[in-house]
Amino acid sequence: MATISSPKNLPTNSELLELIKKQDDVINELSKQLEQALTKNTAESESSGDEISEALSVNQKLLIEMKNKLKESVEIMEQLQEKNVSLSLEIKQLRDTQLGFSPASESLFEMHNLLENERVEIKRIQEELFAVKRSEQKKDGIIVELEGELERTRKLTNSLNDEMKKRIEDLLKEVGEKSSERNAAMMEKKEAEEKLEAFEENYKLKTTLLEEHCKKLSSEIGILTKKKIFLNERI
């Protein structure tokens, strides 16, 4: 199928959009100015004569400007209509002269264009699906990596928990042993203190007895000494 070349006189999409935009701008500007004029006329209806005269002059200028704007809008609309007519004629001429389309072949051409558009749309959708699939695969890879990291973290946590549990048990056992040793030492200390106290009591008692015995011996020695002196005197 032959390729359709674009006629040089056909307006581009940007030109058509520009014309429509200009027309909309003119209509919006006219609507805005008309609204301002109505508002101003209402306010100026209560003004003095000079102000009314000045307002009429301003309104007259505004009406002239609005007339020019309307004329410009009409010209833009005529240009747009001419370009649309030219576009229709150029397309019809192009189909008739270059391709020799009949109504049947024209329908085939439209079907071909529809099929081409569908093919382009299908290709675009396939590319989007491939992009989504790649994104999902990337996400799946990230999820697998995160799951592996989670499993490693879980194992490390369990190992640390077991180690900490064993360490706590060892510390509790050590504390128990130290406590037993401390209790035993305290018992030994208590027994030693009791023995020392008993020894001190016994020592005090023996010391008292010895002191009393010494006093008794001293008394007997004194008596014997007196007897000896008495005997010596008799001899």
Residue 35 lies in a domain: yes
Please give the C-alpha separations between residue 52 and each of 28, 36, 56, 65, 156, in angstroms, as whole numbers: 27, 16, 6, 20, 92
The whole-angstrom separation of Cα 147 and Cα 141 is: 10
* Per-residue confidence (pLDDT) for residue 179, from 0 to 100: 84
Mean pLDDT throughout 188-194? 88
Gyration radius of the chain's alpha carbons: 63
* Per-residue confidence (pLDDT) for residue 8, from 0 to 100: 45
Count Cβ neighbours within 10 Å for each residue of 85-107 and write b for 16 or more, e otherwise.
eeeeebeeebbeeeeebeeeeee
* Per-residue confidence (pLDDT) for residue 14, from 0 to 100: 63
The whole-angstrom separation of Cα 145 and Cα 153 is: 12
Residue 126 lies in a domain: no
Break the chain down into helix, strand, coil percent, rounded to 5: 90, 0, 10
Residue 180 has pLDDT above 80, yes or no: yes
* Per-residue confidence (pLDDT) for residue 4, from 0 to 100: 39
Residue 50 lies in a domain: yes
Contact present, 23 and 73 (Cβ < 8 Å):
yes
The separation between CA 79 and the C-alpha centre of its own chain, rounded to angstroms, equals 55
SS3 18: helix
* Per-residue confidence (pLDDT) for residue 3, from 0 to 100: 39
Residue 70 lies in a domain: yes
Residue 41 lies in a domain: yes
The domain tally of the chain equals 1
Contact present, 36 and 30 (Cβ < 8 Å):
no
* Per-residue confidence (pLDDT) for residue 182, from 0 to 100: 86
Mean pLDDT throughout 181-198? 88
The residues near 10 (Cβ < 8 Å, ≥ 6 apart) are 86, 87, 90
* Helical axes 13-44 vs 49-93, angle rounded to 10°: 160
Contact present, 96 and 109 (Cβ < 8 Å):
no
Residue 185 lies in a domain: no
Residue 22 lies in a domain: yes
* Per-residue confidence (pLDDT) for residue 91, from 0 to 100: 63
Please give the C-alpha separations between residue 179 and each of 23, 148, 167, in angstroms, as whole numbers: 101, 46, 18
Residue 53 lies in a domain: yes
Mean pLDDT throughout 213-227? 84
* Per-residue confidence (pLDDT) for residue 126, from 0 to 100: 74
Q: Residue 69 half-sphere exposure, CB side, CA atoms within 13 Å?
A: 19
**Which of 18, 17, 16, 34 has the alpha carbon at shortest distance from 70?**
34
> Which tens digit of pLDDT belongs to each residue from 17-46?
666 666 667 666 766 766 666 666 656 555
Domain that holds residue 51: 10-100
Residue 9 has pLDDT above 70, yes or no: no
Mean pLDDT throughout 76-80? 67
Range of lowest pLDDT (47-61, 113-127, 179-193): 47-61
User: Higher pLDDT residue, 218 or 96?
Assistant: 218
* Per-residue confidence (pLDDT) for residue 101, from 0 to 100: 47
> Which tens digit of pLDDT belongs to each residue from 84-105?
666 667 666 665 655 554 555 5
> Which tens digit of pLDDT belongs to each residue from 108-142?
667 667 777 777 877 787 787 788 778 778 877 88
Mean pLDDT throughout 153-181? 89
